[in-house]
Structure formats: structure tokens, C-alpha cells
């Protein structure tokens, strides 16, 4: 009974932490003039249906699924809730909006608008960030003449200035670092991925063997993350749901092996196969941004952040595991207790992702 009580609190924390592990917390904007110096300005914003729901009640028929008909019925609400909340100006004067559109894409919502603007520097204030959770950011991926890197805005600094092409190199570096930081956030926030890594490390064995396991996981999830983000593999909402369920199943499998098997000679191959599945989980986040031509820069920085975060986790956990391994009885009890905890969490996530939210 006492052991069960000791496991209950960390299990509850695991479950609570996982609730938003793979949320897509970005609005991606592209802004450009079809003719250099001309009055017409185009803007494209992509975001997930869940993010849109935080801003306006877009699901017009209330059936829980966002359709093109819902967006058409909410056209005026989109104008008021989105475009009026992100005023655009040029040369210090407000731009006049001349049209707007909204489309449901496979894994995101695409909003578009056209403006008539005076000559000069474009400036946009994303006031709607104050209505979203504090972790949300806006990424501006296009400048007046095509892709020029990325700039980021958040609730503390919601205004983005759109300069003419040829911004300083430091702004390109800053954009890359922002993507790296997003990758770090998602690996540390993705408690299910961390639970999988912990389950692997508990019985990892020698340093060489642990290095092999981590490398297999890294290579595998980088492959599927890249293939999906670049459009070679498509993930719609239904496939993403099953990917999330498969991630939970991988956690259950590894935890069960820790409890049942004495030897894990096949673990490297298993880790590679499950790493492919976890890569789809990371890709579902990146794909939900609708990055367009910025996908390569975003993919590189995001994946680098994921790898750095993963390396940091291993660097912290591995010495602790090695320390416990010096006392076989303590190690055995630790493996059993943590594997039971991970198994219970994986079972909860699997039911939640297959059957829907529990409780």
C-alpha cells in the first residue's frame, strides 16, 4: 500500500505534464509585396485548428471538427478576431484591408488577406498574442521580396518590423536560435519522449551500448521528422492520433521488457523502430505550423534543439543510472519501480489517445 502511494503522486504528475506535450504553439506568417514598392501587400497566416479555437469559436456547427463550411460561416468573426487584432501599417500609416480568405488544409488552417499600403517600412502588431497562452509565438517567415530568414514575436514583444531584403546576418542567426529553442521546449515538454528515454537508460548497460541506443533513436526520429516536415509523408489528424497512440504503445512495450526480460540484445533495433514512430510525433508539431518555404530552416533548427535537449537529458540521467548500478539490489528495485510508473503512464496515454480524454 505504501509503495502504491509513493508511485501515485509521480504518476499523476506525469499524466498532468503530458496533457500539452505536443501542442503546436506557433502562428506562422508570411508577408510580401508582389511588386517591389507597390501598394499591394499579401499576408498568409497558418495555425492549427486548436489554436484558432482559442481565438474565436470557429466550429460553427459545434460538431467538434473544423470544416470549410465552418470557416465560411465564421467569415466575419475571422475578420474581427484575427485581422482586426493584427493591425498592419506602412510608413507610419494604417494599411487598408481589401480582402480576406480562410481555408482548411490537411493539418492546419490557412488564413489570407490583401492590403493596400503606403510606401515604406511595414510594421505589424500581433495583439492577439495576449489572448493565447504565454508560450505562443508568431514566426514571420517572409519579407517583402521572398524568404529572408525568420523573426519571432511573443506577448512581451508583439510587434514585427518588415524591413527591405538584406537584413543583417545576426537576424538570420537569431531566427535559427529561436527554432533551436522551440526544439528544446518540445523535447523537455514532451514527457512521453522523455519517459521512453528513461526506460531505455534504466537497463542500458555499458556506455558503448547506451551510445548505440541513443544514436539509433536519434537517427530514426530524424529520418521520419525530416521526411514528414519536407512533405514526403503526410500526416492528417487521424494519422497523427494513431502516431500518438503508437508512441504510448512503445513506452508500454519498453517498460514491460524492463520488468520481464533479463537480457535486451535486440534493444538497439527496437529503439530504432520506435524512434521512427517518435519522429512522426515531433513532425506532427512541425507540420502543424504550415511553414511553406521556411520548412528547411525550421526543420534544421527545431531538430537541432531536440537533439541538444535529448543529449542534455542523457548527460544528466546516465551518471545517476550508473551510480545506482553499482548496487545491484538497489538497481533492481529502481528499475522495477520506475518501469511500473512508466508502464502505468504509458497505459493512461494509450487509452487517452485511442478512446479520447479520460475523466
Least confident piece of the model among 21-30, 34-43, 171-180, 345-354: 171-180
Specify the pLDDT at position 21. Answer: 46
Given a cut of 70, is residue 272 above it in pLDDT?
A: yes
pLDDT higher at 343 or 22: 343
Specify the pLDDT at position 116. Answer: 95
**Tens digit of pLDDT for each residue in 134-148?**
888 888 875 444 445
Q: Among residues 5, 48, 11, which one has the least CA distance to residue 240?
A: 48
The x, y and z cell numbers of residue 2, run together, are 505504501
Least confident piece of the model among 23-37, 94-108, 336-350: 23-37
Q: What DSSP string runs through 170-216?
A: HHHHHHHHHHHHHHHHHHHH-HHHHHHHHHHHHT--SHHHHHHHHHH
Most confident region among 23-32, 64-73, 249-258 by mean pLDDT: 249-258
* DSSP annotation of 163: P
Specify the pLDDT at position 84. Answer: 93
pLDDT higher at 42 or 60: 42
How far is Cα 58 from Cα 71, in angstroms, rounded to an integer? 6
How far is Cα 295 from Cα 315, in angstroms, rounded to an integer? 30
Which residue is associated with the grid cell 519522449? 193
pLDDT higher at 281 or 293: 281
179 Cβ contact list (under 8 Å, min separation 6) = 150, 297, 298, 300, 301, 302, 304, 305
Specify the pLDDT at position 357. Answer: 56
**What's the whole-number mean pLDDT along residues 170-174?**
48
Strand order of the β-sheet with 96-104 is: 96-104, 109-116, 40-47, 26-32, 137-143, 146-153
Average pLDDT along the chain: 80
Specify the pLDDT at position 22. Answer: 52
12 pLDDT tier (thresholds 50, 70, 90): very low
Given a cut of 60, is residue 8 above it in pLDDT?
A: no
Antiparallel, parallel or unpaired: β 146-153 and 137-143: antiparallel
Given a cut of 70, is residue 171 above it in pLDDT?
A: no
Given a cut of 80, is residue 356 above it in pLDDT?
A: no
Given a cut of 60, is residue 159 above it in pLDDT?
A: yes
Given a cut of 80, is residue 296 above it in pLDDT?
A: no
Backbone φ and ψ of 42, nearest 5°: -110, 145
Burial label, 23 (beta-carbon count in 10 A; 0-12, 13-18, 19+): middle
How far is Cα 286 from Cα 297, in angstroms, rounded to an integer? 12
**What's the whole-number mean pLDDT along residues 44-66?**
84
Given a cut of 70, is residue 287 above it in pLDDT?
A: no
307 pLDDT tier (thresholds 50, 70, 90): confident
Three-state DSSP state, 7? helix
**What's the whole-number mean pLDDT along residues 256-260?**
92
**What's the whole-number mean pLDDT along residues 184-206?**
83
Backbone φ and ψ of 139, nearest 5°: -110, 120
Three-state DSSP state, 132? coil
**What's the whole-number mean pLDDT along residues 58-72?**
83
**What's the whole-number mean pLDDT along residues 250-273?**
89
Angle ∠(6,12,13) on CA atoms, nearest 5: 100
Given a cut of 80, is residue 222 above it in pLDDT?
A: yes
How far is Cα 209 from Cα 215, in angstroms, rounded to an integer? 10
Q: Among residues 141, 299, 302, which one has the least CA distance to residue 226?
A: 299
Specify the pLDDT at position 347. Answer: 93
The DSSP H or E segment spanning 238 is: helix 237-260
Most confident region among 38-47, 55-64, 184-193 by mean pLDDT: 38-47
**What's the whole-number mean pLDDT along residues 117-138?**
89
Amino acid at each position: 500500500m505504501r509503495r502504491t502511494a509513493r508511485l501515485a503522486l509521480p504518476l499523476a504528475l506525469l499524466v498532468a505534464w503530458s496533457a500539452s506535450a505536443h501542442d503546436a504553439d506557433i502562428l506562422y506568417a508570411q508577408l510580401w509585396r508582389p511588386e517591389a514598392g507597390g501598394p499591394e501587400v499579401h499576408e498568409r497566416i497558418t495555425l492549427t485548428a486548436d489554436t484558432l479555437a482559442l481565438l474565436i469559436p470557429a466550429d460553427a456547427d459545434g460538431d467538434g471538427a473544423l470544416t470549410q463550411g465552418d470557416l465560411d460561416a465564421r467569415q466575419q468573426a475571422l475578420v474581427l478576431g484575427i485581422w482586426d487584432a493584427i493591425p498592419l501599417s506602412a510608413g507610419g500609416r494604417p494599411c487598408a484591408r481589401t480582402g480576406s480568405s480562410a481555408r482548411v488544409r490537411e493539418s492546419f488552417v490557412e488564413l489570407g488577406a490583401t492590403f493596400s499600403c503606403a510606401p515604406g517600412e511595414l510594421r505589424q502588431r500581433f495583439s492577439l498574442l495576449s489572448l493565447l497562452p504565454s508560450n505562443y509565438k508568431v514566426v514571420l517567415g517572409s519579407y517583402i521580396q521572398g524568404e529572408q530568414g525568420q523573426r519571432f514575436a511573443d506577448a512581451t514583444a508583439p510587434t514585427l518590423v518588415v524591413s527591405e531584403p538584406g537584413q543583417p546576418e545576426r537576424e538570420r542567426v537569431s531566427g535559427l536560435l529561436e527554432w533551436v529553442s522551440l526544439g528544446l521546449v518540445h523535447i523537455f515538454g514532451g514527457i512521453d519522449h522523455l519517459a521512453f528515454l528513461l526506460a531505455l537508460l534504466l537497463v542500458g548497460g555499458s556506455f558503448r551500448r547506451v551510445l548505440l541506443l541513443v544514436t539509433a533513436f536519434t537517427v530514426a526520429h530524424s529520418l521520419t521528422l525530416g521526411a514528414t516536415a519536407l512533405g514526403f509523408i503526410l500526416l492528417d489528424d487521424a494519422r497523427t492520433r494513431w502516431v500518438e497512440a503508437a508512441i504510448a504503445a512503445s513506452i508500454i512495450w519498453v517498460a514491460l521488457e524492463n520488468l520481464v526480460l533479463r537480457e535486451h540484445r535486440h534493444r538497439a533495433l527496437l529503439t530504432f523502430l520506435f524512434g521512427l514512430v517518435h519522429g512522426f510525433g515531433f513532425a506532427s508539431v512541425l507540420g502543424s505550423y504550415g511553414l511553406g518555404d521556411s520548412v528547411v530552416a525550421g526543420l534544421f533548427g527545431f531538430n537541432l534543439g531536440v537533439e541538444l535537449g535529448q543529449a542534455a537529458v542523457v548527460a544528466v540521467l546516465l551518471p545517476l543510472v550508473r551510480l545506482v548500478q553499482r548496487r545491484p539490489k538497489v538497481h533492481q528495485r529502481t528499475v522495477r519501480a520506475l518501469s511500473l510508473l512508466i508502464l502505468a503512464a504509458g497505459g493512461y496515454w494509450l487509452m487517452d489517445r485511442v478512446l479520447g480524454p479520460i475523466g
